[in-house]
Amino acid sequence: MASKQPAIEYRPPRWLVALAVSSFALFAALAGFFIQSSEGIHYTLASLVLTLLAALGVVEVLVSRIMLESDSVLVRSLFRSQRILLRDVEEVRLDGGRTCLRLKSGGWKKLPEWLGASMSVRHRIGNRLAQLDGSE
């Protein structure tokens, strides 16, 4: 049986969080400007919609994470969470600048783009796969 390892959490980089917050601030300022200036209902509505989308982006980068647990990978985002059991993963590899899991069922699971081609997560998942294979 594989030894219990501590969970490792990967979160979006700080620059991505700063970009999302900056976008929200910019669109909120634009919305405030168009509401005050009476430039037209179309500009006001467009800026309010962009402000709402930017707010969702901020929440998304604050909620998003990848948890590498001893027996699974949990991919969490604003609207969806998915747990991939390591026993269902055949290999981990880099594909097109992204970390991907090749499933034993024949499919692929690409990890979020903000993770990129993280060698750390690739090696850690690979090590846990090797430990699982060694314990069976």
Strands 8-10 and 89-95: what pairing?
A: unpaired
The per-residue pLDDT for range 49-99, each reduced to its tens digit, is 999 999 999 999 999 999 998 889 999 998 899 999 999 999 888 887 788
Lowest mean pLDDT among 8-17, 33-42, 50-59: 33-42
Look up the pTM and report it.
0.76
Give me 30's structure tokens: 């634009």
pLDDT at 116 over 70: no
What pLDDT score was predicted for residue 114? 80
What pLDDT score was predicted for residue 3? 57
What pLDDT score was predicted for residue 63? 94
